[in-house]
Structure 1
Amino acid sequence: MKNQEILHQITEMADEERRLRDSLTTDRTGGQAERRRLGELERELDQCWDLLRQRRARAEFGQDPDEARVRPQSVVEDYQS
């Protein structure tokens, strides 16, 4: 996956995340399925950002960005900002 494709995917997921947050804010009953999907999106977004950072770092240091791989959610969840 190339950087532009990853950024496009991030944008689409961020839009869905925003819609879900708005829906949960306006609809106080907030369905469990929406909350579950929101959690999934947050973890998937973390993975996408991590992959993009890996690709950029590899390119910066003269390595092949295509060798970057999606890391498991359990790994990227523990990163500190």
Structure 2
Amino acid sequence: MTEQDILARIKQLVAAEHDLRAKATTHEIDPVTERQQLGELEVLLDQCWDLLRQRRARMDAGTSPEEAQVNTAGQVEGYLQ
């Protein structure tokens, strides 16, 4: 997965988040479903941003960005804990 692939995925996830919020505003989905789906999107976005940071850090260090791997949701979400 290239940096451009990751950025395209982030763009897709952000668009899905906006779509979800629009549906919630027009009551096309219930608040419980909205929160659950937003939570899932946020985790996916965090994983993408983490992968992008890993790739850039590897490039800055002179190592292969291709060795960067997607971290688990638990790992990415637990960084601040």
Unmatched segments (≥5 aa) in structure 1: none
Deviation at 1:39, TM superposition (A): 1.4
Aligned-pair identity (%)? 49
Deviation at 1:29, TM superposition (A): 6.0
Partners of 2:7 and 2:49 lie apart in 1 by 8
Partners of 1:49 and 1:40 lie apart in 2 by 14
Tell me what 1:22 maps to.
22
Give the TM-score, by structure 2 length.
0.86
2:68 maps to 1:68: yes
Report 1:1-81 matches (<5 A): 1-27=1-27, 30=30, 32-80=32-80
Give the TM-score, by structure 1 length.
0.86
Deviation at 1:31, TM superposition (A): 5.5
Paired amino acid for 1:79 = Y
CA contact (8 A) 2:6 2:48 kept: yes
Partners of 2:56 and 2:22 lie apart in 1 by 32
Partners of 2:51 and 2:14 lie apart in 1 by 16
Paired amino acid for 2:3 = N
Paired amino acid for 2:51 = L
Structure 1 segments, 4+ long, off by >6 Å, are: none
